[in-house]
Structures are given as C-alpha cells and as structure tokens.
Structure 1
Amino acid sequence: MQDPTSRSSAPRPGWERLREAWNRKKEELSVRLSLSLPKGMGLATERVLRVRAAMLGLLSRWPNVRERVVAFTHRLPEAGRKARALLVRLRIRETVHRLRALPPQVRYSTAAGIAAVALAGGAWAFVRSQTVELVRVYADGEPLGYASSASVVQDYLVHRLERIGHAAGGRAFAVTPIALERVKVFRGSAEDDAVLERLGDRIAVRVHAYALRVNGQHIAYLASEEQARALLSDALSKLGGTKLVYTGEPSVHVVPLAAPAEGSSSEPEKNIQLKESVEVVPTIVSPEELAEPSAVEALLLSGSEPELYQIQPGDTLWGVAQKFGITVDDLVRLNPGLSADDVLHPGQQLNVGRPKALLTVREESTQTVEVDIPYGTKEVKDDSLPAGKRVVKVKGQPGKKRLVYRVVMENGLLKEQEVLREEVLEPPVDEVVAIGTKVAYSFTPQGGYPVYEGTGNFIWPTMGGYVTSPFGPRWGGFHTGIDISGVQDRTIVAADRGTVVYAAWMSGYGNLVIIDHGNGYSTYYAHLAQILVSAGQRVEQGQKIGIMGMTGYATGIHLHFEIRKNGTPTNPLSYYRAR
C-alpha cells in the first residue's frame, strides 16, 4: 500500500524525518500503555480502557485544554504557525490512512491514544509559554521577592552605597549577606520597586571611619584621618594662641606666622607638647555614628564639665568673682543654693563657669626680662610730728635687675614660673619715712569735739565679706560708697582711729556713725542695726562701733561704708591694695 503522505515514488527527506519522529512517538506511547491487566481481557479492550482512563485524567486536570492549545497556536509567529500547521496536516493524513488499515477495535483505541498524546504536548507547550524567568532576592537568608533581573538589584546597591559614602565622606559597604537566584516561575511577575524597598530596609551599611580618643576615652568618629588631623590642629591652635599643627606625636609643630625681620632677635625657643595621649584609629561604623567636625572641635575646647574652684582661706564671693572675671551675680546663678549673703568656707567648691578643655597645650620656654627692684621703706619716729603723720625724708628709687625665667604655660595660662638666673644691674635706694608720735587734738565743725588724729591707714571695717555694690554710678544716681555683705560676724569696727562726731539716725542712712580722723579724712558707717559708740567719743583703729543691719533705705543686711577726703566721697577700694 502506497504511503498517503507521499506524492511520488521517492519521498522527500523532510517528510521522512517527520515519519521517523511520528514512529518514535507511537513506540513511546505503546510502551507507556503496555501495563499488565487481569487475565482474560483482550488486547484491544485493554488499550481502549487505558486510553479512556488517560483521556479522562487529562480532561479532569485541564478541562479547557483545547482552547488553550488553540490560543497558544495563535500566539506563535507566522512562520511557526505555518510550520506547525503543515506538521499537523501531515500527521493527520498519515494517521488516517494507517488507521483505516487497522481492525476496528484497534483503530479506535489507537486514535484515542494519539489524541491523548497530542493534548498532552499542547498542554506542556502552554505551560512553557506561561513560565517567566525571574531573579529571587534574598537578604540574610530571607526571601524578599522577585526582581526582573540581577542588574536591577546590583545597580540599586551600587548607587545606594555611593550615595551613603559620599554623604559620610568615606567608602560605604553592605554587611548583610545578599543572594540572587535565577528561577522560572509559572505566570510569575517582577516587583522591582517593592523588592528594592524591602532590600533597603533589610541591609545594614557600614563606612570606613577613624575613631578619635583622648587618654583612651572615646570622643567621636570622623570620616577620614585627614579630617581628624585638621580638626586637632585647629583646636590646638586656639588653645595655644598660635598656629599649631598636630603631627600625631606628643610634640606639636609650630607654624611661624611671619619670618623675623633682619637684625631682630628670634623669639625664645619653645618646647610645645600635648599633655594628653591622642589616638586616631581606623575603624568601621554605621553612617549615623559619624560626628560633625564643628561639634567635635567644640567638645575638645570646652569639655563636658565646667571648671570647679576650691575655696581657700580668706576667699570671698567678690574676690572669687574678680579672680575669674565674672560677677557675684554670675556665681550665684552658676551655683544653685548659693546666695550673695553666704559665707564661704575653705574646701567648698564653686562652679566658676569656665569650661575645661579636653586637650592641654603645654608650652615650656625660657624668657629674659629686666624688672624693677622695689625699694624698701625705713620708718623713723619723729616726736615733732603729730601722731600718725608721715613725712618722706628720703625718696626711694627702684633698682634694676635681669631675670632669666623658665616659664610653663598651659592653654595660654601661666602654670609654672621659675627663676633660673638673676643679675642685679642697679641696686635700689630705700625710702626713709618719718612717723609722728605727738598726740594732737583739733576741732571739727560737727559738734565742736576735739578730734583724735588718725594714722592715715585704713583697715577693713567688717569681719570679712565682699562688695555687693561698688562706688560709682548706680540706678540713675551716684553711689558715694561701697556696700559690704556676706559676713558671719556682723561686728563693725573703726577703719582708723579718730573721734566720733555723729552717732544717730539720719534719713536714708538709717543708724549712722561718722568718725573724723583729724587729717582731712572721715568715714561713714550706715544702716547699722545697733550703734555702740556716742558722739564725742575717742575710738581706736579696729574698735567695735556697731552691728551690721538694714535700717534706713536698705534692701538687705549690709554695711554702707564711705571714706571722704575734705568732705568729698572717694572710692574706698582705692585704699585697700589687697582688695
């Protein structure tokens, strides 16, 4: 019987290959269907049952398989559809002719098997057409979703790390393990935006940085070693008062601001060192841990704690305030619980508001200076002069000497000073002063009492304390004396010997004592709680004359103290060198 697919006695090679492929498919089908059945069942019946079961199973899984195969065929390119149509026609033509030659039972079972194979092949082609190749993204072993390609994830990571590194001033890298897996997903779709957002939340980024440590204590993380060195150089220059460069060693390099002029002597040789141990150590940190250079410099210059001053014997609030260039009100504000009337005790600590730097620039140098030698004073008694009167007989002349000092400065403040050599260039001439011993009496217009002439030297009128209001303009007027407060013992004493010319109430002053010292000076003691002397009484220097109070126009317990010369108020503090 002639092959129905042939059109001549010599078949074409393409058709021969199709026939061979078809024969192989039939052999595979016959092998898959050749399962053992119970005895007594004919071969034809066996094949029919097996093919029927296969068809039922296939249709139960893919009820619309025919429509899917047709749709798949329609999606093929034009050339592919033509080739497939030709192949189908050839297979159908060949199959029909071969089936006609078979017995009826075998013919029907074979046709059913062929249909099942055709349907299965179409279903597999449909599944393959619906399968998409994607990239599954993992962060630290956790799946985050599917990306369209590996390059999408890689580009995102590169750009993110570059952006973080540029902002932090260092090189950034990810420490979270990231894995990409190529997979085929049936009817899968990429979700690039969502996957990249999850990836950004999951990955941990670190940057290369440098840790700044002072005496082993961590100060801050900086982006680069150059940044740390520049910051340290700026801080040291401000502390040392000259241009300094941090070299990484204890010694600090001094940068001259200008070359010395010809013929001028160079500055004394200086040894400048950094007292603290400073380390700049490479490390790895998160970008959020990097500090701003300006904040780090401020921390190095001011530290985290204020400077405390320990009270020494004889210290007063006014004296401590003067020592540190602040006011008594500043001290009270900086020390909660302290009031302007409090008495200071040795060992007590006060916050003086001056910041304590974390770095210390120690500058050691030798300096040669010429200074005056103060002259001495020789006192001789003269009974021809009124008691207390002083007359210079020989005027003193200061001498000259050359000193070579070893000077140690820390952060611009004098810390140590030692005289290495001393050479007297010109000796001083002592001053000779005659001191009168003759007791003299005079009369004053206030009451006509004989006045006991004073020594001309004044002592402090209270038992310690400090000045709460100085001499000079105040509240739109003029304060003619000083106010003294902050004492534990409120005793008031005479500043110099003399005669009490007033001891009573006076408007504004309250209880007031006036002492005339007979040498043009008089002293006023106002706002007393109690007067212990009377007018016309002669008092000695240091004698108790009253108790401190707040009578008259006063807002608190204090002494208003005046020193008048020829009736004109003068600044009392100008008579007290120590104060």
Structure 2
Amino acid sequence: MRLSMKGFVKHLTVAGVVALGLSSQVAFADDEALSKVYHVYVDGEHVGIVENKDVVENHIAEKISGHQDENDFTYTVNEEIDYVTETVFSSKVDNQEVIDYLDEELTIAVEAQALEIGDEVVGYFAEKELAEQVIQEYKEKYVSADVLEKIDNDSEEESEPLSVGESHIIDVSLTEEVSIKDKKVSDDEILTVEEGITLLEKGTLENKKHVVDAGDVLGSIASQYDLSLDKLLELNEDLTEDSVIKIGDELNVTAYEPYVEVVVTEEKLDEEEIAYQTEVEESEDMYKGEEEVKQEGENGTVETHYRMEKVNGKTVDMEVLDENVTEEPTNKVIVKGTKVVSSRGSGELDWPAVGGSISSHVGERWGSYHKGIDIAGVSDRSILAADNGTVSSAGWDNGGYGNKIVIDHNNGYRTIYAHLSSIDVSSGQTVEKGQKIGVMGTTGFSTGIHLHFEVYKDGSLENPADHF
C-alpha cells in the first residue's frame, strides 16, 4: 500500500478466506455471528490481525502528517502493505499489536522523481516538473530559452535562408539519454533545482591519465586536478615526493567529467576575405636585389556557409556546406631584377657628373695640396660611379670632406666622391659604371656646390683629369 496526505494509493489484495471446516457447518451457522477480520502483511510478512483496514490506514496517515507539516513533499511509506480478508465466527484481533509493529518497523519516504542520465541516477527531486526544469536550465546555459522553444515548435519547418553574418541553431541535444522515474527516498536526498544544476555542471569523478609536459612538476599537476600532493602520490604508488618525472610520463589522476553534455548544431553564413597571391616577374633591365611593385594586390571575398557542432559551448566540429565567391582577388605582381653587375672595374673611368666642368685642378692651392679635381656647373646634380666597383665606405667624414663615398674598383683603382648633399648607396654594395650614387652638395669644408673627385691607383694619387 502507498499512502500519502495527497491521496492514498491503496494496494489491496483481497482474498475471501473461510475457516477450514466452515463448508460442512454453514447450514447450521447463524449468519449474524459471522464477522470479517483483516490479516495485515508488511512486505509479504504477516504482522497481525485488525478489525478494520482503517486502523492501519489512519495510523499511517497520522505518521505521515508529522512529516507533511515540515515541507511540501509527497510522503508515503517505504514498505508494501497488503490485506487478506477472512470471515470468522469469533474475531481474534489485536489492533494495538499491529499499530505497535507499524510504529517500530515502518519508515517514511518521499514519493520522488529520480533523474537518470544513461544508467546513472544523478539526483532525486520532489516533482517531475522540477527534474525537467533542471535539464531545461542546464541547456539554457548554452542556448537561450527562446531558441529552445523555437526548435521544439518548428521541428518540422525548414529554416529561413541565412543572411551574411547570421547564424541559426538548428538542433539541441544531449550526449546521454535522460529519463525520469518514480522512486521512494528519504527527504534528505531531495535536491533543489539549483543543486541539481550544480551537480550536472560539476559532473562525476573519473580516473584519467595525465601526460607530463614541459614545465610540469608533481605539485603543479596535483593543483591542475584539484588534488593534494598526498592524493596524487596515493594514485601513483611508484612515485614519491622526490621522484623526477620526465616529459611523456603518464600519471594517474582523477578529474570531474560532466554527467551529460549539451550538443548544439548551428549553421552560419560568413563573408570572409580571400587573400591575394603574390606573383614575381624577373627583369634583366633591373639589377639583382632591386624590385618594384608592378600591380598592387587586393583581397577578394567569399560567402561561406558553415555547420558547426558545439559541445558545452566549445566548437568540436566545423563543416563547410557551401562557398560562393563574391569577388575574385587581384594578385600582387612584383618585378625583381636579375641583372648582375661585376664588381671589377674596366679600368676606364667615366666622367662622374652630369655635364659640368673642372673648376679646380690637382695641385697647390691656398697653401695646401689639392688632391683631386672639383666639378661644378652641372645640369643635374646626380653623382655617378666612374666605373664598376664595391662601395668601401659611405657616410660623413670628419676631415672636411663632408658626405663622402669611397669606391674600390677591385682592379687597383679607388675613387673618392666628396661634399655630397645626400648618399644613395651603402657600404658593401656593388655599383655599376654610370649608376647614381648620390647628389652634389656643399657639405664639409666647401665654398659652394660642387663635387670633389679623387683617383688612386694601387694606393698612389693620380690626376683624375688624365682619365677623361
């Protein structure tokens, strides 16, 4: 029998039992002397006889009412109570004896709802609706209530076409089967909705393996899994506090794994850039090491339709359903020079300026010896390399030359270019005869814009004018 203050569910097995020998004497019996009694059985065990079932039921109702006042749970008794009816001439009942037994042996329980995930009971709830609310609110941690309702209502309808930047959740499911079953439990086992959600989030403790990575020590591994060092050593009997662990070692640990995970299937349409490619063209008209941009690159765009699967908020799978290129990319084109300049000069020097004439020769001048020639009156202030060679130095000179370039022609000749306003080459660079190396100026000890030009052969000064 299940009894509760919200309406007893009476499990009654009635069997009409007539005392042995009654059939042979019934013709002589006085009908008014017969009476009914009730044999009471608790979980199949005979515990006594009562004159009326109300004796038992009223007592149980009173026993339950003491608990009912404490909360709104639906109470019952754990045990199954059955009755067998017997019609007798003289009743031998002991109501008190049965009541005393029931007081001693009956236990009160809550008619609860067990929330089962897979084959495991997660917890017990006072009402089915509360267990369902736990699952609902657990899902709502990853999907809004509106979306869940829409999925339930529109399960047979096709989703509307996506616009760029939009996404639709098309399905929400759980990784394990969830069921809710009737169960009698003690009231201290009943969970609230909040406790149920916390339990689902925390999960259940399971054994796992930790693979040692760079920087791992026993203490950090224990902290990672909320274990004490002693507990970690207990799980790994071959280890001590002083053990040295190596990368790749496997340690036994315990970690909480969720009872169930929420799987969200989502589709989205994104517009993404298609990166342009870079093409390289070669040119014999440009020196090796030189390059120029022939065409700037521009990214294209593509609309990509994705289907994603998220488990407890983390994307675990992504599939491209469709792609539509809306704008093709424009490749960048770079031209690179292949022309190789010999660093060895021909020995024949060219005029190092664009036009102009010698304004001052080699020789004594103003009380000192002038080592080169000065060139002025040019139509273009570009300074040109007199022959192929390697730039030995390029920069400021504190000896009065100002901005100065020195070129070693790798054939015994060396030329110097001084008083430049700017320098276009750097030390170590190979230059070609006639290549612009700087701009004429008046830096250093100079009385006007001109080029001071010197020539050396095997270390000895020569008159540049002899070469033109």
TM-score strictly above 0.5: no
Q: Shorter-chain TM-score: what band?
A: 0.3 to 0.5
Greater Cα radius of gyration, structure 1 or 2: 1
What TM-score do the two structures reach when normalised by structure 1? 0.35
Q: Which has the higher strand share?
A: 2
Q: Of Structure 1 and Structure 2, which has the larger fraction of its residues in helix?
A: 1
Structure number with the bigger relative contact order (C-alpha 8 A, sep ≥ 6) is 2
